[in-house]
Structure 1
Amino acid sequence: MLTVQELEEALAAPTDELIEDLAQLDGDIMILGVGGKMGPSLAKLAQNAIQKGKLGKKVYGVSRFSSGTLQQELEACGIETIAADLLKEEDLAGLPNVKNIIYMAGNKFGTTGNEHFTWAMNAYLPGRVAATFPHSRIVVFSTGNVYPLTPIQASGAKEKDPVGPVGEYAQSCLGRERVFTHFSHKHHIPMVMFRLNYAIDMRYGVLLEIAQKVNNLKPIDVTMGHANVIWQGDANSYALRSLLYCQTPPTVLNITGPETISIRRIAEEFGELFQKEPLFVGEEQDTALLSNAAESFRLFGYPSVSLQQMIDWTGTWVLNEGETINKPTHFQQRKGAF
């Protein structure tokens, strides 16, 4: 995989399982916040599955579309786009009444110093969306940051484990879940809380950040010594398939890969590939932000792209100076400051 076109095609290639699940789903699909890192490929994946399966559904993509060519790109794929600021009541009220909603709107980076906007996006807006669509089913993108740091030998937090968000971003994400859950109870809205960490493709993510530092001979902080990752295409597929598992009260699903990866070991693998010696700072702590996604594997099967495949693809991408986007994960953060 060497070009953005090849990457986009891989991300948007539907599995038979996705097509079969969408065939069981009544109604169209609307993605709120389609302009983020994962939204465009999720929209294209849904559209391709619908076309390949001849399912006769429509995909809507909603974003501000304030710059760039994304709106035209999605329209060219057959996705109906709607330019809207969801914080504006008139824009929200003007959206079509769609049965299936993937809620991806939110704010993370830049929270420090702008906490009020993060809370408005992550905790106020969910209530407005839920009140606007009381008869839809909603998959709510959330995050593993709602959990506390857990011992690395404990295989990650499970869905029924107590939450313990660290920092205002994570607290606001728990606020998003709590507000949606309130309206799920009030209006009997079936939902899934989709707790994701960390999705990657070749242009961003934990593996790319490690590979770049190894390749550029920059020190790698291993204080947060472990993490989980999942291929973005698999995460997007799971999100769409989660529409079948929406319930009241909401279903909670952890979404990530099956491995607890060692940051040091991954860096050493990239070092072997690049023939460069990784530089490390800090010392691994005995806790990390980790999730146990066994329940999602029971529902959807294991990810189609393995950890080793992601490592190989990322290494090749870096060696060939592939295109990247400047959206670091800040996975090293232990105090929740974003």
Structure 2
Amino acid sequence: MRTVAELEERLSRPRDVLVDLRKLDGDILILGAGGKLGPSLVRLALRGVAEAGTGARVIAVSRFSEPGLADALRAQGAVIVEADVADDAALAALPDAANVLFLVGAKFGTSGREHATWATNAYLPGRVAQRFAGSRIVALSTGNVYPLVPVTTGGCVEQTPVQPVGEYAMSCLGRERVLSHFSVRDDTPMALIRLNYAVEMRYGVLVDVAAAVLGGHPIDLTMGHANIVWQGYANEVTLRPAPHGDAAVRVEPDRPELVSIRQVAHRPGRRMGREAHLTGTEAPTALLSNAQLCHRLFGYPDVPVAELIDLTAQWVADGNPLLGKPTGFQRRDGNF
């Protein structure tokens, strides 16, 4: 994965996803297909459907603000619908689909715009759930609904009591509660994906750390540990729950290992011939999830952490394109 083309190919390479796509009836509608996660998920769905031979359409819905993205996905076989799903008329006009992936959410810019964050993260999901009542819905959520927990615990599991910190996390819990309400009321099969930090070579915690090392910027160690997961695996997990979902279930696809930010910083530093500038001391708690249930359901990620760190360090050192969207993983107060 040394070029954008190689990275996109790996991100969208069907693996275990074919097991469940062969069981899936009906089209796949992806809401928020133009965001940072959406394009690779659309491509994975297209390749998976083609190999599974189901004949399902993959319908990509977004405002598509990135120039050329809609045309590129259309050329690869996606049905493109340019629409703002926050607009009631546009939402009502969307094509019906048996399977709906809901990727829309707001995180950054929450502070000072809390009202807009709640509208996107809690009100809109309810409108989507009503529009697609009876479809199988998979919605992205976040591990931020959990409290910070001692590193020694190994992270939160699906049954851990939620305790969101900050407006963003509270609005995401609102999204889950609203979706779960409509799932129960309308008998809509639903899966909620509590994702912490998915990574690829252009975005994620590893990019944030490697870019800081390369630029000589300080890295705060107070949030000393984090979960990371290969974005290609997160894409698979987002596509696969639909055949399993007959209730509002929650799945966490992050790795069970605790990734040390200190160690992550030193490894690219050695590869780049630079010394990581570290500040602060690791707190005894962090935002952590345990993915054992997810791995039992869907298998284990296929790209090891060490490989992800090395690939990201090389990518950043080579000056390859980045998405320019820092994760804010260092935040402990929930303000994004």
- With normalisation by structure 1, the TM-score equals 0.98
Distance 2:181 2:310 in 1: 43
Query: SS of the counterpart of 2:241?
Result: helix
Q: Is the 8 A contact 2:203 2:325 kept in 1?
A: yes
**1:268 maps to what in 2?**
266
Aligned mates of 1:244, 1:285 — CA distance in 2:
40
Cα distance between partner residues in 1 of 2:270 and 2:38: 34
Partner of 2:237: 238
- Quote the offset at 1:53 in angstroms: 2.3
Q: Which residue in the other structure is 1:206 paired with?
A: 205
State the distance in 1 between where 2:195 and 2:237 align: 10
Kindly indicate whether the alpha-carbon contact (under 8 Å) linking 2:154 and 2:256 is maintained by their aligned counterparts in 1.
no
Given that 2:34 and 2:65 are in contact with CA atoms closer than 8 Å, whether structure 1 keeps it comes out as: no
Superposed CA deviations along residues 198-249 of structure 1, whole A, max 9, x for unmatched, are 001100100011111112211100000000000100100111011122122x
| Counterpart Cα distance in 1 of 2:155 and 2:7 | 30
The answer to which of 225-234 and 311-320 deviates more is 311-320
Alpha-carbon distance in 1 for matches of 2:91, 2:310: 43
Structure 2 runs not aligned, ≥5 long:
none
| Alpha-carbon distance between aligned partners in 2 of 1:193 and 1:172, rounded to the nearest angstrom | 14
The residue number in structure 1 matching 2:278 is 280
Letter in 2 for 1:20: V
Matches within 5 A, 1:1-338: 1-15=1-15, 17-248=16-247, 250-338=248-336
Equivalent-residue separation in structure 1 for 2:141 and 2:244 (angstroms): 16
Distance across 1 between alignment mates of 2:206 and 2:257: 13
Partner-residue secondary structure (3-state), 1:255: coil
SS of the residue corresponding to residue 194 of structure 1 reads strand
Contact 2:256–2:289, Cα closer than 8 Å, also in 1: no
Which ranges of 4 or more aligned residues in structure 1 deviate by more than 4 Å? none
Q: How far apart are the structure 1 equivalents of 2:320 and 2:159?
A: 40
Deviations 1:241-291 (A, max 9, x none): 11122122x111111123101000111111211121111111110000000
CA distance in 2, matches of 1:206, 1:307: 12
* Aligned mates of 1:66, 1:50 — CA distance in 2: 26
TM-score (norm 2): 0.98
Q: Distance in 2 between matches of 1:161 and 1:113?
A: 30
Whether the 8 Å contact between 1:245 and 1:251 is mirrored in structure 2 is no
Asked if the contact 2:99–2:135 (Cα under 8 Å) also holds between the matched residues in 1, the reply is yes
Conservation of the 8 A alpha-carbon contact between 1:2 and 1:317: yes
Structure 1 gaps of 5+ residues are none
Q: CA deviation at 1:67?
A: 4.4
Aligned residues: 336
